[in-house]
C-alpha cells in the first residue's frame, strides 16, 4: 500500500514521462530507506532468532551466549554497515577480536 504513496507523486511530478518519473521514484525510495536506517538500525540475529542465547547441540536444555551476536540478539543492518563502516557495535568488536585470537599461539 505504501508504494502507491510513492509512485503517484512520482508520476505526477514527471508529467507521465518515464525518465523523470523513475528518477523521482528512485529518490523517494532512497529517502525512505535512509529514514528507515536511521530509525531502525538493527536487525534480529538469525542464529539465535533475537534471544541472544543458543541451545546446546547434545544437551538441548543447556544454552550459552550466541557466538554470532555476542548475546545481544541483534546485528546492524546492511545499509548501516555500508554507510557507517567505522561505527561497530560491541558484539561486532568482540567477534573481530575473537577472530584475531583464534589463530594465535597460546
The CA distance from 13 to 104, in Å, is 60
- pLDDT tens readout for residues 39-57: 888 888 888 888 888 887 7
Q: Could you give the residue ranges of the DSSP H alpha helices within 1-106?
A: 2-13, 18-39, 78-83, 90-102
pLDDT, residue 43, reads 86
The CA distance from 17 to 10, in Å, is 10
Confidence of residue 14 (pLDDT cuts 50, 70, 90): low
Confidence of residue 104 (pLDDT cuts 50, 70, 90): low
Helix (H) or strand (E) holding 68: none
Its pTM stands at 0.58
Amino acid at each position: 500500500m505504501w508504494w502507491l504513496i510513492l509512485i503517484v507523486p512520482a508520476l505526477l511530478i514527471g508529467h507521465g514521462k518515464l525518465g523523470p518519473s523513475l528518477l523521482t521514484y528512485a529518490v523517494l525510495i532512497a529517502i525512505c530507506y535512509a529514514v528507515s536506517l536511521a530509525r531502525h538500525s538493527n536487525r534480529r540475529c538469525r542464529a539465535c532468532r533475537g534471544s541472544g542465547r543458543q541451545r546446546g547441540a547434545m544437551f538441548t536444555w543447556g544454552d550459552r551466549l550466541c557466538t554470532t551476536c555476542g548475546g545481544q540478539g541483534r546485528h546492524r543492518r546492511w545499509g548501516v554497515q555500508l554507510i557507517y563502516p567505522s561505527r561497530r557495535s560491541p558484539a561486532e568488536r568482540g567477534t573481530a577480536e575473537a577472530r584475531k585470537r583464534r589463530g594465535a599461539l597460546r
